Amino acid sequence: MSKQDAVAVKHVDTKPIDGQKPGTSGLRKKVTVFQQEHYLENFVQATFDALPGEKLSGSTLVVSGDGRYLTKPSVATIVRMAAANGVGKVWVGRGGLLSTPAVSAVIRTRSGGEAYGGFILTASHNPGGPHEDFGIKYNCDNGGPAPEKLTNAIYQNTTKIKEYWIADESLQVDLDKLGRTQFMVQHQDGKFGHFAVEVIDEVEDYLRLLRGIYDFNSLSHLLRRPDFKFTFDAMHGVAGPYAKRIFVKELGAPESSLLNCDPKEDFGGGHPDPNLTYAKALVAALGLGDKQPAEIPQFGAACDGDADRNMILGSKFFVTPSDSVAIIAAYAKDAIPYFSKGLKGVARSMPTSAALDRVAEAKGIKCYEVPTGWKFFGNLMDDNRCSLCGEESFGTGSDHVREKDGLWAVLAWLSILAFKASGSRKENLGDKLAKFAPGLHIGDKAKDSGSSGQLVSVEDIVKQHWMHYGRNFYTRYDYEGVESGKADKVIKTLLGKQGEITQVRNFVIDKADEFMYKDPVDGSVSEHQGVRFLFSDGSRVIFRLSGTGSSGATIRMYVEQYVAPDAGPEKLFADAAKALQPLVNVALTLSKMKELTGRNEPTVIT
Ligand code: G6P
Ligand code: ZN
């Protein structure tokens, strides 16, 4: 590239646009909002201006997204703005695609962790398409979401912005072609600088990382077993290319195991959120729908649009995310090579059930309780306090990256299944159960025969866990699209009840408060993180407003009740909805949900 061919940097006048405050996980708005003139540019310039100039200059950044509508043009814009703001190189996943955990992996590991940070273009599990949602968030050099200090500074900049810089349109690359393109950029002050865009394989770095975590041989052995059927649903999100490469090409699962694995700009018109309501194809395949399929796989999983969330299902069986992380923690040391030395500690978000706490207690490790939002785990991990964490909102992950990781969670579960099939764990829960409930099948009697031993079902693994640790019955009610004023009133009403009421029906309130968190690493304080009612029997009822919606308010109501192992199988294995009904009624009474919102039923129950 010679100086004559240099791309010129333009300076563009702009003015602040209201409402660019990032939420729980970046700035998420309707596509039509993002299509307003200067909207994306303002936010990106505000981010560059919030970063230290000397660090940004000549740095390497990652820019990619989940493939939703607007991803490619937005990547192109950010690349041109990066060039204009003195960035040296941008890595883009092929097709503009990288899953959220893969961005984290690329930042942390590619070329020895060369990247300074990255922009992720996603609205996660929200629908996509011209009339749906788009989003952008910035991740730092630890591979994790920007801390509040930085997102606040970005927001402040958006309220004062007057101008931005962008390289001329001639700075263009074909995002579908792997390889590096060099540019010479002429800045406003007349100086020249080098700039490169490298389109990278979207799976490679992430796969390399996973290979160092799991035993790919034993996973492959499991997935190739003729008597083991597995189904993965990418919900037309970015998980598709990862699933094809990892499950099929690397581990040998048949192609027919994959559902919806071609990424689409509108997620095929669906809502790419892996839960029992939206992951329809998977739910039906696993026999949890109205019709029973002829053959039901033993294991099913789905990821959300940007592949950081996961849902785990067994044959006709749903694993709650709160149980999922607890069970992974229970087996981590035995079943996952990365954890062979044990866990440093574990963490969960406050509304997530305390199932994880019980495992931590048994293993003699610390369990941290943080506010909702993955970013709170990052500090604990950077400080080596926590190796594994999870949230009720279908997020599970470990310190291999600084995002939750959907495919990682699927491989964790497959590792547990492979481990159980190897029969090498000396436990006698099957016998214990036989004593309580003769006739109930628990298949852990397999001999030590590699992963070709007897398969243990997901349901049995979960039931064995409850028999050992007790069960935290759990449900979440979501009231979506509530008018903001009404939602605020619900929260105010609940706060008003605190201190005033000591008992509802036969539930005695032990403690009622608003959750506040002091980060043990940096001492920062986060207030108003959810209204809690803690009852004397260990039950909990929690309310908070969602921080991820793009319009209106969503009220979330979390209900949890603990049953100890000695209660016996009948109580432990009861239907969750039925078992929790009395406590749900208490929650509805406390919040005056029906009166204040006019909603008789929640939009979604998980
Ligand atoms: C995102 C974050 C999660 C968080 C979730 C909460 O997915 O990455 O860490 O749990 O949002 O969403 P909510 O809508 O409840 O604020
Ligand atoms: Zn997501």
Q: Is the pLDDT of residue 54 over 70?
A: yes
* Ligand of minimum distance to the alpha carbon of 274: 2
Active-site positions read 124
Closest to 381 (Cα-Cα) out of 408, 362, 400, 360: 400
Residues 369-383 have a mean pLDDT of 93
In order of 10, 166, 284, the CA distances from 84 in angstroms are: 8, 5, 50
At 143, list the tokens: 């591979």
Write out the DSSP string of 529-552: --EEEEETTS-EEEEEE-SS-SSS
- Does ligand 1 come within 6 angstroms of the Cβ of 20? no
Quote the CA–CA distance of 531 and 216 in Å, as a whole number: 43
Confidence of residue 436 (pLDDT cuts 50, 70, 90): low
With a cut of 70, say whether residue 508 has pLDDT above it: yes
> Among 166, 184, 201, where does a domain finish?
201
Q: In what order do the strands lie in the sheet with 163-167?
A: 27-30, 133-139, 117-121, 60-65, 89-93, 192-200, 179-186, 7-13, 163-167
Q: Which of the ligands is closest to the CA of residue 309?
A: 2
Same domain for 587 and 557? yes
Residue-level pLDDT at 352: 98
Q: What are the pLDDT digits (tens) for 450-501? A: 567 899 999 999 999 999 999 999 999 999 999 999 999 999 998 888 877 7
The average confidence (pLDDT) of the chain is 92
Q: Is residue 546 lining ligand 1, measured as CB closer than 6 Å?
A: yes
Pair (17, 144) in one structural domain: yes
CATH (domain of 127) = 3.40.120.10
What confidence score (pLDDT) does residue 498 get? 86
Residue nearest to atom 13 of ligand 1 (CA): 546
Does residue 400 sit in the same domain as residue 460? Answer: yes
Q: What percent of the chain has pLDDT over 90?
A: 84
Q: Of 170, 201, 232, which closes a domain?
A: 201
Task: Verify that 571 and 464 share a domain, yes or no.
Answer: no
- Residue range 546-564: average pLDDT? 87
Q: Do 591 and 458 share a structural domain?
A: no
Distance from residue 305's CA to the centre of ligand 2 (Å): 6
Separation of 548 CA from ligand 1 center, angstroms?
A: 6
d(CA 103, CA 576): 37
Confidence of residue 434 (pLDDT cuts 50, 70, 90): low
20 and 124 belong to one structural domain:
yes
Q: Do 538 and 455 reside in the same domain of the chain? A: no
pLDDT-above-70 percentage for the chain: 95
Predicted confidence at residue 440, as pLDDT, reads 52
**Tokens linked to 598:** 């006019």
Q: Is the pLDDT of residue 518 over 70?
A: yes
Q: Are residues 335 and 464 in the same domain?
A: yes
Instruction: Indicate if 392 and 497 belong to the same structural domain.
Output: no
Query: Residue 446: is its pLDDT beyond 70?
Result: no
- The CATH code of the domain that includes 576 is 3.30.310.50
What is the predicted pLDDT for the residue at 172?
95
- In a shared domain, residues 215 and 94: no
For residue 430, pLDDT beyond 60 = no
Check residue 549 and give its pLDDT.
66
The residue segments making up the domain with residue 479 are 471-605
Q: Has residue 444 got a pLDDT over 70?
A: no
32 shares its domain with 169:
yes
Are 414 and 298 contained in the same domain?
A: yes
Residue 187: name the closest of 350, 53, 31 by CA: 53
Count the domains in the chain.
Answer: 3
Predicted structure pTM score: 0.92
Which of 125, 325, 374 to mutate for ligand 1's pocket (most ligand atoms within 8 Å of CB)?
374
In this prediction, residues 291-302 reach a mean pLDDT of 95
Q: In this predicted structure, which of 156-170, 190-204, 544-558 has the lowest mean pLDDT?
A: 544-558
* Residue at which a domain ends, from 439, 469, 499: 469
Q: Quote the ligand 1 centre to 322 CA distance (angstroms).
A: 14
